[in-house]
Structure 1
Amino acid sequence: MTQQAPVRVGIMGFGQTGRQIFEFASHSDDIEVVAIADIGKPEILQYLLNSEVEQPERHRLEGNFLVNERCRARLMEIDRPAEMPWDIFGVDAVIDSTGKYRDRESMESHLGNGAPRVLLRTLPTDHIDRIVIPGINEASASVDDRMISAGSATTSALALLLHSLAPEFAIECGSMTTIHAFTSDQALQDYAGSDFRRSRSAAKNIIPNNHEASLWLGRILPDFDGKILTSALNVPVQEGCLLDVNLVMADSAVEVEAVNEAMRAAAARHPGIIGVVEDPIVSSDVIGNPLSLLFDTKGTIKAGGNTIKTLSWYENLGHAARLLDVVRLYKQLDQQQEAA
């Protein structure tokens, strides 16, 4: 059987997620990153990548190319989708990992410049073709999809938790708070921005924030549309996030161990995406974990007659891995269409 050519991927934005995607791809046989668009200087981008990976000697800079044994990616000092000529690189898909260009117009710019398909690493601001969360709704993906989102690390973790529990328990409503590591768009010192609280120093404050997962949850899990309130607390840690979810069960007979057992079963059904931890871990213990959801059995508590509180862990690395899973999913759909 002839071996399939690797998927040719372009990345816009070589921040944390972009670098994680590149590192994952460099260890794969089926993904090849061929172009990277970022305003940063090539030598600084390589320096940042090498400061994070276990084998920095694998990645070298050859002129404007970031090279390893699997990829030879052209570095382009470009910051806007409308400026990036994806057509000259023959990409099969573009992952926009900037977190900035989330609207249809920006996604259409990627498509107009030669990207057959564009995948956002975060939630969109407009309605697009599909939101795909691995472990939940891969079967809904269509070969005709061109503008896709893989949700966000927090949205995926929440959706996977709800998707795992809903078949076992009737859930009336709930609330989620993500205790989230600070993000690159926060100021390290107090600095006037567009939001009062986010103008305060990320390095020394717990900063309440809204979270838009609730706005899109109905697109992923229709049964939970309008039933889950979501919010965030950005805290002064660099990596590792905690998902604190309170669920109101219809049946007051639901107990802690039943919820934990349901999550153990979900982890067995979705290895590599969902995990369960029985030990008393903290946020630094989840750094480097490629799962989308690590359920903490010691954090499950029953409050009153119907409320179950759960704790789960995640970090951005798992979301980077899922982005490549979505790229692979659409490549399979393309191949099936070609073979038909």
Structure 2
Amino acid sequence: MQPIRLGIMGFGRVGRQLYQLAVQDERFDVVAVSDIGSAGILHNLLTKTDHDLDVKLENNYLVSERGRTRLMSVDRPTETPWDVFDVDVVIEATGRFRTLADLVPHLDNGAPRVVLSELPEEKIDRVLLYGVNEASAKVGDQIISAGSASTTATALVLKIITGVFAIEQATMTSVHAYTSDQSLQDYAGPDYRRSRSGAENIIPNATPALHWVQEVLPEVAGKLSAYALNVPVQVGSMLDLTIAFSEPDIDIDTVNQLFISAAKERPALLKTIGDPIVSSDVKGIPQSLLVDLLGTMKAGDRMIKMLAWHETLGHSRRILDVVDVYAGLDSDQKKEVS
């Protein structure tokens, strides 16, 4: 099978992680990257964030042992000539373009499929959280979201729990590292709270994970509430979940053992840890979910509180897994036709 020809729009933290992962994975060939930054700055940021990555800059190309990647200084999807590079899929990783009006131009410019690294602002062909609902993928899907790190982590916890136990209610607080769309100083933004300094404040925030987790997991529809706190740390985010079970007397060991077993079954997807970790210890974990066994506690007869961690590297891996799911569907369709 030929490598999947990837185009990446946006070379921020997630975009660079996607490139770093893809050049070390024979399933993928990153043929083009689109970003407003100059080639020299993009290469500098890439090599500063991954000192072990041997990538050189030759004119407007990133050159590695795996091949050459064209760097384009382009600001919008309408300006990006994906057809020139014969891409199989574009990963939209800017975090800026989340509506159909913004995403369709990728298709118009030659991309057969677009995978969004964030949650969309409106209904698209599919939101696919790898490890949760990848079996729902259809070969005709063209605009797909791979969700977000906190959405996938939340959905994984709830899928594992509801696969064994009935629940009455779940409440999730996402304690999230500050993001690139937050300003370091107080600066007028989209709302009052997000106009405050991300480096100095704990900022309460709504989370779109509330809607999309219930969309992909119908078994928790109407049973979930969620909120987010953006906190002044750069890397490492945490989920604080409280789950009300239908059955009484479910204990801490039972819940922890459930996740230990799940981690053994799918070690690339989730992991458990019994050490007293903090947010900076989470940097570089490749899984989507790190369950903190010390954080599981009883809260009444029917309620359990859990802590779990995640980082953007795990989400970047899941984005590539979503791309691979669709490549497999395309391959199967070609075999059927031939």
- TM-score normalised per structure 1: 0.97
One-letter amino acid of the counterpart of residue 243, structure 2: L
In structure 2, distance between residues paired with 1:163 and 1:193 = 35
Q: Is 1:23 matched up with 2:13?
A: no
Tell me the residue number matched to 1:12: 9
SS across alignment from 2:197: coil
Count the aligned residue pairs: 336
Is residue 170 from structure 1 mapped to residue 166 from structure 2 by the alignment? Answer: yes
Letter in 1 for 2:320: L
Identity of aligned residues (%): 50
Aligned to 2:31: 34
Q: How many Å apart are 1:128 and its aligned residue?
A: 1.1
Show the counterpart of 1:59: 55
- What are the residue-to-residue correspondences of 1:4-153 with 2, within 5 Å? 4-56=1-53, 58-153=54-149
SS in 2 for 1:43: helix
Measure how far apart 1:5 and its partner are: 1.3
Matched, 1:302 2:307: no
1:272 to 255, 263, 268: 268
Q: Deviations over 1:188-237 (max 9, x none)?
A: 11112121111111111111111111111222101112221111111111
| Structure 2 segments unaligned to the other structure (5+ residues) | none
CA distance in 2, matches of 1:226, 1:101: 29
Q: Give me the whole-angstrom Cα distance separating, in 2, the residues matched to 1:124 and 1:192.
A: 24
Alignment of 1:208-219 (within 5 A): 208-219=204-215
* Residue of structure 1 equivalent to 2:151: 155
Residue of structure 2 equivalent to 1:196: 192
How many Å separate the matches in 2 of 1:150 and 1:71?
26
Establish whether residue 293 from structure 1 lines up as the match of residue 289 from structure 2: yes
Does structure 1 residue 314 correspond to structure 2 residue 310?
Answer: yes
Residue 110 of structure 1 deviates from its aligned partner by 0.6
Given that 1:41 and 1:77 are in contact with CA atoms closer than 8 Å, whether structure 2 keeps it comes out as yes
Task: Tell me how far apart the structure 1 counterparts of residues 121 and 200 of structure 2 sit (CA, whole Å).
Answer: 30
CA contact (8 A) 2:4 2:27 kept: yes
4+ residue runs over 3 A deviation: none
Whole-angstrom CA distance in 1 between matches of 2:214 and 2:38: 40
**Is the contact made by 2:297 and 2:305 (CA closer than 8 Å) also made in structure 1?**
yes
Alpha-carbon contact 2:154-2:213 (below 8 Å) kept = no
Q: Secondary structure at the match of 2:239?
A: strand
Q: Distance between the aligned counterparts of 2:237 and 2:97, measured in 1?
A: 24
Q: 3-state SS of the aligned residue for 2:179?
A: coil
Distance 2:153 2:181 in 1: 22
2:255 aligned residue (232, 254, 259): 259
Alignment map for 1:217-232 (pairs within 5 Å):
217-232=213-228
CA distance in 1, matches of 2:67, 2:12: 18
Deviation at 1:130, TM superposition (A): 1.1
Please say if residues 214 and 226 of structure 1, whose CA atoms lie closer than 8 Å, have aligned partners that are also in contact: no
Whole-Å Cα distance in 2 between the matches of residues 265 and 100 of structure 1? 38
User: What amino acid maps onto 2:84 in structure 1?
Assistant: I
Shift of 1:60: 1.0
Contact 2:214 2:224 in 1 (8 A): no
Q: Deviations over 1:266-287 (max 9, x none)?
A: 1122110111111111111110
Aligned equivalent of 1:339: 335
Residue identity matched to 1:204: E
Q: Does 1:327 align with 2:327?
A: no
State the shift of 1:54 in Å: 3.2
